Amino acid sequence: MGRSRYKIYEPTYPHFITCTILHWIPIFTRTETTNIIFDSLKFLQKEDNLKIYAYVILENHLHMIVSSDDVSKTIKKFKSFTAKEILKYLQIKNVKTILEQLAFYKKAHKTQTTYQLWQEGYQPKLIKDEKMMIETINYIHQNPVKRGYVDVAKHWRYSSARDYEDEKGLIDIERLF
């Protein structure tokens, strides 16, 4: 059981979620690892009624605004499945340096596993209104721009920015619901 101090009190409402790789290790620098994320999200859209309002995947973390029948359970499934699949991929590809780091930084109480991929918790923040939704989507989409990876948010490959922004860079709120 995770030791997250964050609680979800409205499990079916949209939440801003951040999932971070342990010790900020750059895992999402390969297409194969990001594909594992996308495959898991697609599965959860069908199985858990997951709705994804916005997302961005950077090299060592991801941000999403999501809702489902139970956000807490859905994110738990997401992190568990993606950790197993990404670790399996890293072992098959013999990526020793990253695997050694994931073993070294693993939390002491995680005695059932050799590695830990995700940091504990995911910092859920309830999206309370339309204004907060738009501000949070803009924050998510601007993440790669602020880091200097791209000049325009919709140019980031692993982002929903290209789906939501019009030619002026504004969010079309009607497309969200």
Residue-level pLDDT at 123: 85
The percent of residues above 90 in pLDDT, for the chain, comes to 76
Size (the chain), residues: 177
pLDDT at residue 155 greater than cutoff 80: yes
Return d(Cα 154, Cα 142) in angstroms, integer: 9
Reduced to 3 states (helix: H, G, I; strand: E, B; else coil), residue 45 is: helix
Reduced to 3 states (helix: H, G, I; strand: E, B; else coil), residue 18 is: strand
Residue-level pLDDT at 107: 83
Q: Where are the alpha helices (DSSP H) in 8-129?
A: 31-47, 71-92, 96-104
Bridge partners of residue 19, in order along the sequence: 62
pLDDT band at 3 (very low <50, low <70, confident <90, very high): very low
Write down the residue that tokens 């830990």 correspond to. 116
Q: What is the pLDDT averaged over residues 164-172? A: 56
- The secondary structure of residue 70, as a DSSP letter, is S
pLDDT band at 2 (very low <50, low <70, confident <90, very high): very low
Write down the residue that tokens 């690892």 correspond to. 33
pLDDT tens-digit readout, 8-56? 667 678 999 999 999 999 999 999 999 999 999 999 999 999 999 999 9
Instruction: Report whether 140 contacts 154 (CB < 8 A).
Output: no
Alpha-carbon torsion angle 144, 24, 54, 80, nearest 10: 160
pTM summary value:
0.87
Burial of 161 (0-12, 13-18, 19+ CB in 10 A): buried
pLDDT at residue 163 greater than cutoff 90: no
Q: Where are the alpha helices (DSSP H) in the chain?
A: 31-47, 71-92, 96-104, 130-146, 161-164
